Structure 1
Amino acid sequence: MTLLSVNVNKIAVLRNSRGGTLPCPRALALHCVEAGARGITVHPRPDRRHITAEDVQAIAAALPAGVEFNIEGNPFAPPRPGYPGLLALAREARPAQVTFVPDADGQLTSDHGFDPAALPPALADEIAAFRALGCRVSLFVDPGTLRLDPIRAAGAERIEIYTGPYAAAFGQPGEAAALADCQATARAAQALGLGVNAGHDLSQANLGRFLAAVPGVLEVSIGHALVAEALVEGLAETVRRYRAITGG
């Protein structure tokens, strides 16, 4: 069984394109939970182009007990006006999980993971600071990454496999190779006692094949495709369809 965490960033993008309060990320996060989502993911960025610090606090306060809150972000992005930094957000919201992603300022979307052979020197201290708040720490990594020992040694408890390459190859001649890379990374992580999450460009079309092929995926976070599909199917029905695929 794989936990479905719905990323509500795109809800905030739509709101921010017009200004005002509609659609409301907090309200629609709760709508997803009512439809069966067992987790909510947000990825606040320093430029505030979608989820904001205020959204993070509002969602954290509203989620019912038992629903996992996952905050993604770069722990090394410095605070600035409107963005207090990832650690400060976690201190306020106390999410169950924080996913470290090595995004640069202004990056359009997450498109690569941490290189275990070149981890930032302060990574272990950052992980310890989040774990002291009670947050599980997961690191975003590229498919095909095998030498995960430095990530485990730094104190992380999970990895999240970047599934963008698999999604791009889905239905194409390179799909089997892309899946094999994900399989290899999952097995390498599990051999070290690391849990495995996955996300980026997963959809109703490609998710089932991914979960069938990659062993022991604990959680998937899905936002872009889910929101796009919800424009046609409705949000609650789309969440229910994903739950049917993940089983959790």
Structure 2
Amino acid sequence: MAHLSVNINKIATLRNSRGGNNPDLVKVALDCERFGAQGITVHPRPDERHIRYQDVFDLKAVIATEFNIEGNPTEQKFVELVLANKPAQVTLVPDAEGQLTSNHGWDTIKHQDYLKDIIAKFQSAGIRVSIFVDPENRMIEAAATTGTDRIELYTEAYASQYHVDKESAIKPYVEAANLATQLGLGINAGHDLDLHNLKYFSQQIPDLLEVSIGHALISDALYLGLENTIQMYLRQLN
């Protein structure tokens, strides 16, 4: 069964909208763990519009499950933050500054040398590395030569086409996942996965290790409650 890592960025967005500490980000993270989540994901950005850098230190001090920090390593402050906290995993995402949300994977051919260097830096600190990639074979092949431990398949294309033709939507992801497995890469996935499309995705990607889900899960929790929602997502993965 693939692990569920809950991205709590949206909780931080809600907190920041009024100032103060309501909702309490650390308490929510601990509750997510208590409700069955196998990991907590944060994606701090330079403008700290949701996750603040101090949040990362606060969370690292208490999280008992897997801690996953996402972000663009071209920001030196991000690199320093990750090395200072040594999470179980760092997921490298090629976001531009001010970008609303992640919308593409790495060009692992063009950025091959850079990725090799930064991945080695994190791994030397004992941190597992995953890199965000599109389901394209040539990008998967080049990812394997960077030295990364895992890839995270960017699943927006799958999610947007799922209700139109789920078999066509999943096909490039199956091919990419099979290739990744052959090349010795672990497979994570994330972006726009939800209660409607997650089960089919996990069934078709048998080597899937982890999904990181934030926006859809937190939105569902508004209606269904956080504990119930986490349990429902876990059942989709079981």
- TM-score after normalising by structure 1: 0.93
Q: Determine the structure 1 residue equivalent to 2:73.
A: 75
| Partner secondary structure for residue 46 of structure 1 | coil
Residue 119 of structure 2 is aligned with which of 127, 132, 137? 127
Pairwise mapping of residues 36-115 of structure 1 onto structure 2 (< 5 A)?
36-64=36-64, 67-78=65-76, 85-115=77-107
Residue 202 of structure 1 is aligned with which of 172, 181, 193? 193
Q: Determine the structure 1 residue equivalent to 2:148.
A: 156
| Partner secondary structure for residue 117 of structure 1 | coil
Answer yes or no: is the 8 Å Cα contact 1:146–1:185 preserved in 2. Answer: no
Q: Equivalents in 2 of 1:61, 1:199: separation in Å?
A: 25
List 4+ stretches of structure 1 deviating above 6 A: none
| Partner secondary structure for residue 49 of structure 2 | coil
| Partner secondary structure for residue 205 of structure 1 | coil
Query: 1:145: how far off?
Result: 3.5
| Partner secondary structure for residue 37 of structure 1 | coil
What amino acid is aligned across from residue 245 of structure 1 in structure 2?
Q
Q: Equivalents in 2 of 1:34, 1:118: separation in Å?
A: 42
1:155-210, Cα deviation, whole Å (9 max, x unpaired): 1010000011111112113x322200111111111110000000001101110011
Point out the more displaced range, 124-133 or 144-153.
144-153
Answer yes or no: is the 8 Å Cα contact 1:183–1:215 preserved in 2. Answer: no
Structure 2: runs of 5 or more not aligned = none
Q: Give the aligned length.
A: 238
Q: Equivalents in 1 of 2:26, 2:177: separation in Å?
A: 32
Q: Determine the structure 2 residue equivalent to 1:17.
A: 17
Structure 1: runs of 5 or more not aligned = 79-84
Residue 228 of structure 2 is aligned with which of 231, 234, 237? 237
Q: Equivalents in 1 of 2:221, 2:183: separation in Å?
A: 38
Q: Equivalents in 1 of 2:111, 2:178: separation in Å?
A: 21
Identity %: 49
Q: Does 1:116 align with 2:108?
A: yes
Query: 1:244: how far off?
Result: 1.5
Query: 1:90: how far off?
Result: 1.4
Q: Equivalents in 1 of 2:38, 2:23: separation in Å?
A: 21
| Partner secondary structure for residue 231 of structure 1 | helix
